[in-house]
Amino acid sequence: MDHLARLESQSVYILREAYKSFKNLCMLWSIGKDSTVMLWLARKAFFGHVPFPLVHIDTSYKIPSMIAYRDKLALEWNLTMVVGQNEEALADGMNHTRGRLTCCTALKTRALKQTLDGTGPRYRLMPDGRYYPDPNREPYTGVIVGARGDEEGSRSKERYFSPRGVDNDWDLDDQPPELWNQFKTDFAPGTHIRIHPLLDWTEINIWEYIERENIPIIDLYFDRGNGRRYRSLGCDPCTADVRSRACTPGEIITELKVTNVAERSGRAQDQEDPHAMEKLRRDGYM
């Protein structure tokens, strides 16, 4: 077994533990490369099936082709696709010009919290390709998230199974012990557990695996003829593409091996405050 096979085996093991332990389990799918790899790993773990809903938080500012790609794959792979949104904030005209952290907090963190606990709207993709209100409003108690340890500082301290409080908060000063693949699957009512199957993966590992498994990743990551591509996907107004001619996973890997530019450097909200990501994550951000 090589390193990628070991990473795959551990992620599959974590996904199966999550599926066994939580009745109300969901997987957050941001449409980006990491959570798409995670979705692929779920199909590996469950022999071609994905036995839990995929949840996407749609800020309404996403790059439009992300939504088309999401629905196409969801129908093709027979996924239970659930979309949540902070409709109240959007009706009130929330956007990034009111402050990026403010906007992220409303359209991502709060939307996520409401979608997870069932107090906010949930829409479910039906076979006709359209979304209808989801009859299931039960809170999700297990939430699978594609965070990687090498993305930024606070993520490097995550557990595979990480408890969140009643308010979705992350008490990272007092995390429970986690050892020998014995994960925290017992939790108090009202709280939930975040599950991180990709914690040990690096950005390069992700691309190596995409290449090896031939995973149909969204084409925004590749140069589409204008000499630019995205390295990290987010909302249109706050995500910048990078100069690159890489058109394949192999070319991206070659490029990553020499770059000194941080993966999330194109994500404007990180630049607002040196602890932006930790603050967002303490409050429940992915």
Q: Shortest approach of other proteins to residue 200 CB, angstroms?
A: 7
Amino acid, res. 175: Q
Q: Which of 128, 135, 186, 225 binds other proteins (CB under 8 A)?
A: 186
240 binds other proteins (CB under 8 A): no
172 binds other proteins (CB under 8 A): yes
Buried b or exposed e, range 165-193, using 16+ CB within 10 angstroms:
eeebebeeeeeeeeeeeebbeebeeeebb
182 binds other proteins (CB under 8 A): yes
Residue bearing tokens 């040196």? 274
**What does the block give as tokens for 166?**
């009643």
Q: Which of 175, 216, 236, 237 binds other proteins (CB under 8 A)?
A: 175
Element (H, E) at 82: strand 81-84
> Among residues 40, 41, 131, 142, which one has the least CA distance to residue 81?
131
Stretch that binds other proteins, among 28-36, 91-99, 198-206, 228-236 (CB under 8 A): 198-206
Report the DSSP pairing between strands 142-144 and 25-28.
Answer: parallel
Stretch that binds other proteins, among 29-37, 107-115, 118-126, 174-182 (CB under 8 A): 174-182
Cβ distance 184 to 235 under 8 Å? Answer: no
Q: Which of 169, 213, 272, 283 binds other proteins (CB under 8 A)?
A: 213
Distance CA 108, CA 239 (A): 15
Q: Tell me whether residue 93 is exposed, middle or buried, using C-beta atoms within 10 angstroms of its C-beta: 0 to 12, 13 to 18, 19 or more.
A: exposed
Distance CA 144, CA 161 (A): 9
254 binds other proteins (CB under 8 A): no
How far from chain centre, in Å, is Cα 17? 19
- How many DSSP H helices and E strands does the chain contain? 9, 10
190 binds other proteins (CB under 8 A): no
Q: Which of 127, 173, 225, 258 binds other proteins (CB under 8 A)?
A: 173
Q: Which of 67, 90, 131, 200 binds other proteins (CB under 8 A)?
A: 200
Q: Shortest approach of other proteins to residue 9 CB, angstroms?
A: 4
1 binds other proteins (CB under 8 A): yes
Q: Shortest approach of other proteins to residue 217 CB, angstroms?
A: 15
46 binds other proteins (CB under 8 A): yes
Residue bearing tokens 């603050």? 279
Residue whose CB is less far from other proteins, 48 or 93:
48
Sequential DSSP letters for 147-212 = --TTSSGGGGG--SEEEE-TTS---TTSPPP-BTTB------TT-EEEE-TTTT--HHHHHHHHHH
212 binds other proteins (CB under 8 A): yes
149 binds other proteins (CB under 8 A): yes
Q: Which of 27, 38, 45, 280 binds other proteins (CB under 8 A)?
A: 45
Q: Which of 8, 71, 241, 270 binds other proteins (CB under 8 A)?
A: 8
Give the binding site for other proteins (CB under 8 A): 1-6, 8-10, 12-13, 16-17, 19-20, 43-49, 51, 78, 149-150, 152-154, 156-157, 159, 172-173, 175-182, 184, 186-188, 199-200, 202, 205, 208, 212-213, 260-262, 274-275, 278
